[in-house]
Chain A
Amino acid sequence: MRISTDKIISLLFFVLSALYLYQTYQIRVFSFDEDAPFNAKTFPTFIAFFGMFLSILYVVLPERIPSKVDHKVLDYKSTLFLVVIATIYGFIILRAGFFLSTSLFLFFSYYFLGERRWIWMFVLSFPFVALFMFLLHGLLDIYLRDPFLKMLGIIG
């Protein structure tokens, strides 16, 4: 018997709902609230049971429009790269500061997506981020912590 990916996802959703239910039972409510008509566990319990019910229903009922995904045409490499570079960006933004980390993130993203127009790549990274920071500071009065620019004495 072949099972479609949609149904596998709904089975995973069943597992998620079951785990959610388990976590719901781990919520420690106040003793005087244990038998109350409603406490911190009530709503999550309904959600969990309803989630399990829906996923089972999806598995049991015939599929109206099964999803067809051709994995051969999907560009996993570029997507994975973007996810990795965004994660690195998230790691360094506090240490290197907004300006340097964002400019590098943009520049390398353009490069790895296949862009080779160097002038545009530069303009839309370093000067673009500088302008964006100026708008945030100047217009919206939003302070961005930036150890790199602070070290250079550009911001206080």
Chain B
Amino acid sequence: MIEGILIGLQTALSLKNILMVVMGCFFGTIIGMLPGLGPMTAIALMIPITYGFEPATGLILMAGVYYGAVFGGSTSSILINAPGVPGTVATAFDGYPMAQQGKAGKALAIAAYSSFAGGTISAIFLLFAAPSLSKVSLAFRSPDYFALMVLGLTAVSAFSSKGQFLKAMMMVILGLMLATVGQDSLSDITRFTFNNMNLTDGISFVLVVMATFAMSEALTIILKGKDPSRATEKISLSQLGSIKLDKDERNKMLKSIPRSSVLGFLIGVLPGAGATIASFLAYGMERNYVNEDEKKKFGKGSVHGLAAPETANNAACSGSFVPLLTLGIPGSGTTAVMLGALLGFGIQPGPRLYMTNPEIFWSVIMSMYIGMVILLILNLPLIPYIARVLATPKNFLIPLILFFSVTGIYLMSFNNFDIFLMIGIAIVATFLRLYNFPMAPLILAFVLGGLIEENLRRSLLISDGSFSFLWDRPLTAVIFGGTILLVSWQIYKSIKR
């Protein structure tokens, strides 16, 4: 492990990679800050740029964007009560009241310190958990992988949007349908191409991400007629108050951070859970831990109430890398986007990644520490300036998002068929968003589609076409049982109502 850490440090500390972390954190913070645009959009917009880099550099940039976007989301939650990402909704519960009391600087400082601590502590957990889990996951066979991916899709559908399980599952099916377009990986037979040569290689992953997130989010903002920058009229972005914390505030933070870090990391590791659930659970847990006097302050600007979700959402981000790096299975929409980008580099994450590409495996983990430090350095002194991004009017913001989306696709294929296909998918996605059909399960299914088919193929060939492979091995049976329980629970909830 020491050797791996040194390899990771060597790669992560190269000037180019440090520059990438700084760039990633900076752009991630800016994009994440804009309400409606989350880490997935931020990463999607960066993918075309990363293809010009080495895989390790590209992944380091995307990891920086991820953390930056989560932190940026906190800033808009605190300052204008408009969370940039769902994972920072809980941050607004106490962060916004603090800002209203003229303590916006303090609230941002608590968020920055908590994010730093949560991210750093969970990166230490990741350092130990990832290699150990990689060794365990070497015992996984095709049926286990198949069952695990189905569980991941079901879990993301169950947790991605409250009470919309069946809608999310329909999005999973739509994602799988899109993934089957093009040549079959084994027989090379073309499927669902309608004799169109442009579809022979399948639909580009970047195209689907850009269409369902960046472009569709931009169209949704216009369709709903909301201008995110109007919310900034209520607050002075240049006078946010002192960022210095007193001893009492520091002590409160020190109590909240360790327990929220552990909780956030564990939730992040689970497929389908992630920053949103982690932050809500941490908020609830913290409320139960504190004394009666502190409990009364929750929702009115409590330090505990702000530090806990902020720590947990960053810890969950690191945690979500565990299944991606060790099993090659993303546990969330954001890590699914990263998996798609890695596959684009020709790299298959999984238990053998840390043996075949140690520089990628370790440098990503090491860059997380560097990223956390950079986020802290970048955000504390610069936040009054960065926060002005919130005032960007939609008249400029939306065309620029559309420009980056179209250019990103154009740079990858240099044909206009992909641009039209992207616009078409974006229109459908915008309509579906209006009716609360979540997009994250679609992306996850699209990315995992090929892997699921491959593992199902192997499993069925081994069992001679029988579905007994689902219960022949105890591990597969346990994972598959978990999926059945989850589905039954969700359907029971629907019927009960």
Contacts and interface: CB of A to CB of B under 8 A. Distances in A.
Nearest to A27: B191
A94 B416 contact: yes
B224 interface: yes
Contacts of A28: 189
A155 interface: no
Interface residues of A, number: 68
A124 B52 contact: no
Given A64-B494, A65-B164, A27 B189 contact: yes
Contacts of A10: 166, 170
Nearest to B458: A38
9 contacts: A10-B170, A16-B174, A30-B189, A42-B457, A58-B166, A62-B495, A78-B223, A94-B416, A106-B400
B163 A145 contact: no
Interface in B453-488: 453, 456-457, 460-461, 463-465
B173 A142 contact: no
Contacts of B437: 9
Interface stretch (B27-35, B130-138, B316-324, B406-414): B406-414
Contacts, number: 181
Interface in A63-119: 64-65, 67, 69, 73-76, 78-79, 82-83, 86-87, 89-91, 93-94, 98, 102, 105-106, 109-110, 113-115
Contact of A43 (B218, B420, B456, B495): B456
A6 B395 contact: no
B395 A91 contact: no
A94 B226 CA distance: 33
Interface in B131-166: 162-164, 166
Q: Is the interface of B mostly helix, strand, loop or mixed?
A: helix
Given A50-B173, A106-B400, A40 B191 contact: yes
B459 to A, nearest CB: 9
Contacts of B289: none
B87 to A, nearest CB: 21
Contacts of A102: 403, 407
Given A47-B180, A76-B223, A38 B402 contact: no
A43 B457 CA distance: 8
B395 A82 contact: no
Contacts of B191: 23-24, 27, 40, 44
A93 B457 CA distance: 42
B385 interface: no
B461 A38 contact: yes
B396 A115 contact: yes
A118 to B, nearest CB: 13
B52 A142 contact: yes
A74 to B, nearest CB: 5
Contacts of A5: 435
